[in-house]
Chain A
Amino acid sequence: MGKTLAEKIIAAHNVDGAAEVSAGDLVTVNVDVVMANDVTAPIAIESFNAIGVGEVFDRNRVMLVPSHFAPNKDIKSAEQTRTLTRFAELQVLEHRFQVGRAGIEHVVLPERGLVLPGDLVVGGDSHTCTYGALGAFATGMGSTDIGFAMATGKTWLKVPETMKFVYYGERQPWVYSKDMILRTIGEITVDGALYRSMEFTGPGVAALNMSERFTMTNMVIEAGGKCGFIPFDEVTREYVEARATRPYTPFFADDDARYVSVHEFDLSEMEPQVACPYSPDNVHPISQIRPEKVDQVFIGSCTNGRFEDMAIVADILQRTGREFHPDVRVMIIPGSQAVYLDMLRQGWLELFTLAGAAVSTSTCGPCLGGHMGVLAADEVCVSTSNRNFRGRMGHRDARVFLANPAVAAASAIMGRLAHPDEL
């Protein structure tokens, strides 16, 4: 019987050296990279210290990124970041991530070639699954698990079963990978991939650029998934060769691998999708949604805060010559400082600012209701991020609609939920 990507990568990292593992096996594995952020690192460091080994297992492979409340929004968050940066200095960690130079972990780590195809990555953040776009096994864990991995270089895992998703047909205008993943989550629901791996395949996936691939695997956790994969190909190779910091080995699923289910999507019938409050699986085609007035539009996050996402917004503004609606707060926040610099060089900071947006340095910020655009009761927000749970971006009665960057930009211009074709 052939093997899935999850089975192959886990087998290659098995500390027992067993040649094969299968879905359902409980194994201890060596990890390539351990990551945490300003919210999860403080508890991970506490657990690490309580374990008492003194030094991290490998100072090249532990990465602590201040992203959520960065730049520090208040004294308490400043103290959390200080815990993280002091620890990085004390342990002489090779890779440091400073405000002004870094950004959101899931944008920064791939961008710098620090996570690579075939890697096994554990991160103290549920969206660690993003790195699956590179063909890495990457999964989110809590802080104590991360403290354990920092101390030992190992973690325990149950080898997941795998669901296969096949996308085919010609993509329609204004449809992006965000719509593909939203539609998928809408179909299988928020626990449809619980404890499972999701392999995304087919010509519709092969045609995606790396940025769009990250958007897709980013939201695996919104279906309850443990990890997601996009098969390694020339697009991955080109992206990785330009930045890899060490050698890597890509893995490939066998043709006769065992999948618990196969789901097919015809892109020629897919229009832009929107996830309505209060769940990422409350997904509807945009044509079926009431064009509600919006108070805020957020373009950014680890889902859609990359250069290509910003390019979509810039293109819409340039082509239409329009400005954002005067009654809408538009927050445009790049996923990393590298993206910020690219925006600056393209002239987009000026373009976005003249159109009426608040453009800021990289941060998670409003995505988790941290700062830089927290919502009041009853406010409506269109967001390119990944979660619209109750209270996620502010008050429990605020309502968040998740969409792709083009729909977000169109809504920001129209002052209500809008299809880009309406411009």
Chain B
Amino acid sequence: MKLEGKVWKYGDNIDTDVIIPARYLVTTDPQTLAAHCMEDIDQAFASQVQPGDIIVGGRNFGCGSSREHAPISIKGAGVSCIIAESFARIFFRNAINIGLPILESPEAARDAQKGDTLTVDLVAGTITNQRTGKTYQASPYPPFVLGIINAGGLVPYTRRELGIDITG
């Protein structure tokens, strides 16, 4: 699966309180959450993000609270993929579980600049920066995690594993 989008670039330790502040945690609706995504750090993001855009972060992206509202708000904003130098553990799981692609590549993350266009091949795990023409290989997923991604998230994965009729 190939993705292409423009880069929104952020620094190290982007925490879930700035991705979606607690004052908005009284809903689980992706669109409502998306309207406030990143607002404490980048007020332009929610209004200007385009479907398919890519968030690029530094180290420890998504640290802090376990709120799944954080990746939900990013996915709800239409972001196709997050690339970072490293991810906080809970955020990484949450993104995989809700079917939001997430790739770890320190070089790709460091080289990308705001407004660059990236092409991402999720199957091969490659990231190409169209401005520089450079291609990067992201860290591979463990096979089990790949299973969840291929199923489209943890819920469909579990239904299949438990033999619950997916059409039912």
Contacts and interface: CB of A to CB of B under 8 A. Distances in A.
Question: Do chains A and B interact in one complex?
Answer: yes
Interface of A: 26, 39-40, 42-43, 46-47, 50-53, 68-69, 74, 76-77, 80, 123-126, 128, 140-145, 147-148, 151-152, 156, 158, 190-191, 194-195, 221, 224, 226, 279, 368-370, 374, 387, 389-392, 396
B65 interface: yes
Contacts of B72: 43
B97 A145 contact: yes
B26 A194 contact: no
B155 A50 contact: yes
A245 B161 CA distance: 33
Given A224-B60, A389-B17, A144 B66 contact: no
B154 interface: yes
Interface of B: 12-13, 15, 17-18, 21-23, 25-28, 40-41, 59-60, 63-69, 71-72, 86, 88-91, 93-94, 97-98, 142, 144, 153-155, 158-159, 162, 164, 168
B28 A370 contact: no
Nearest to B87: A194
Given A76-B26, A191-B60, A40 B159 contact: no
B26 A142 contact: no
Given A126-B64, A141-B90, A224-B88, A51 B13 contact: no
Given A156-B144, A370-B22, 17 more contacts: A26-B144, A39-B25, A40-B67, A50-B155, A68-B25, A69-B25, A123-B66, A141-B90, A145-B94, A152-B158, A191-B86, A191-B88, A368-B65, A370-B23, A374-B23, A387-B64, A389-B15
B16 to A, nearest CB: 8
A390 B18 contact: yes
B66 A147 contact: no
Contact of A143 (B22, B41, B68): B68
B67 A39 contact: yes
Contacts of A47: 154-155
Given A51-B155, A141-B90, A279-B13, A369 B65 contact: no
A112 to B, nearest CB: 22
Contacts of B91: 142
Nearest first, the 8 A-B pairs at minimum CB distance are A142-B94, A76-B26, A191-B60, A144-B97, A391-B40, A142-B68, A368-B22, A396-B40
A152 B157 CA distance: 13
A170 to B, nearest CB: 34
A47 B148 CA distance: 14
Nearest to B158: A51
A68 B18 CA distance: 18
19 contacts: A40-B67, A43-B72, A53-B164, A76-B26, A128-B66, A141-B94, A143-B66, A145-B154, A152-B158, A190-B13, A190-B63, A191-B13, A191-B86, A194-B60, A194-B89, A369-B21, A370-B22, A389-B17, A390-B17
A392 B162 contact: no
Contacts of A391: 17-18, 21, 40
Contacts of B90: 126, 140-142
Contact of B158 (A80, A141, A151, A195): A151
Contact of B66 (A42, A140, A156, A191): A140
Nearest to A123: B66
A102 B153 CA distance: 34
Contacts of A140: 66, 90
B162 A389 contact: no
A69 B90 CA distance: 22
Given A125-B66, A126-B65, A141-B66, A26 B159 contact: no
A389 B168 CA distance: 44
A125 B47 CA distance: 30
Nearest to A124: B66
